[in-house]
A = this chain, B = another copy of it.
Amino acid sequence: MSVTIKDVAKLADVAPSTVSRVIANNPRISEKTKRKVKEAMEYLGYHPNFNARSLANRSTQAIGLVMPSSADKAFQNPFFPEVIRGISTMAHEQEYALYMSTGNTEDEIFEGVVRMVQGRRVDGIVMLYSRVDDRIMCYLQEQSFPFTVIGKPFKNADSITHIDNDNFKAAQEMTEYLLSLGHERIGFVGGNLNLVVTIDRLLGYEKAIRNAGLSYKDEYIVHEEFLKEGGQEAVKELLALENPPSALLVMDDLMSFGVLSTLNELGLSVPEDISLLSFNNVMLSELSSPSLTSVDINIFQLGYEAAKGLLECIQSPGKPAKRVAVPFELIERQSCKNVK
């Protein structure tokens, strides 16, 4: 079939083990032999078989990606491509490849992960989300399989290497920003409440509201899916209030797009009638009209650091877990108005 180490060995007139050592660049092989073997490899067009190598080696040079369970929906959010780009960049630096298993239901995803882990298809896993009581995360911990999380683990955060923004602080600061613009009725448009990021930000929001001496009103809090439809629903609920908010803190730019177009339909304009501040700063947020004031959470870097952390876990298993906080930054555009 294809060229093996033995063919190379024969041609170079050495033993297979020698060839293997040349591949591994083992210092015990003389330069002369190395050259000879390399020539033979070149001549035959030899390429090592990864499966054989993995088997002997117990390592695959691949890392697995776990997407949130509604993989199809989520993939539409530019957050994921961008975070994957970050992961992929780091992975590539160390010659790791990416492996994705997919599925539509919760169970399928879980099964996919089990196969990745038990089948030794990957050396470690990056979880692209963090939510309350996640089965997959529990499983990985039980197996003590190397993994890192993007977002804060709901429990055992100390013993799991994770990468996130300080979402509590971010939400608090952003709420304070809106307060500083004179808004006192600030709505919170959150995503799925099972996601830790939603919880953290809600707490930050609450903190800021209370610090300002305002009362925290449940009716100003709305939770929807992270997509544009979510944004649309949210607006309807909030505007139906007798005293509707003058500003919204929205968890995702995509939801903001939904909010924006719904407001448009209702004949309300941003920021004149209502201000919008959202998170993620995806590429398109500067192109909408009005352009969105948004928190740049450095998605690329989240991915990059997550992969980096994972590779550390893999390469030095002893190391204690750590947390990396990726900085965030408010990008002011046109969707917030000073009402003072």
Contact = CB atoms under 8 A, between A and B. Distances in A.
A246 interface: no
Given A80-B81, A228-B287, A100 B102 contact: no
Please classify the interface of chain A as helix (H, G, I), strand (E, B), loop, or mixed, using the class held by over half of its residues. Answer: helix
A108 B80 CA distance: 23
Contacts of A194: none
B114 A47 contact: yes
Interface in A48-62: 48-55, 58, 60, 62
A263 to B, nearest CB: 11
A31 to B, nearest CB: 25
A283 B71 contact: no
A123 B228 CA distance: 37
Most buried by B among A71, A116, A283, A291: A283
B2 A118 contact: yes
Give the size range of A's interface with the partner.
35 or more
27 contacts: A1-B58, A2-B120, A47-B114, A47-B118, A49-B55, A50-B120, A51-B54, A51-B55, A51-B60, A71-B85, A72-B89, A76-B82, A76-B85, A76-B283, A88-B102, A89-B102, A92-B101, A97-B102, A97-B112, A97-B121, A98-B100, A98-B101, A99-B99, A257-B284, A260-B287, A261-B291, A288-B288
Interface of A: 1-2, 47-55, 58, 60, 62, 71-72, 75-76, 78, 80-82, 84-85, 88-89, 91-92, 97-104, 108, 112, 114-116, 118-121, 228, 257-258, 260-261, 264, 283-284, 286-289, 291
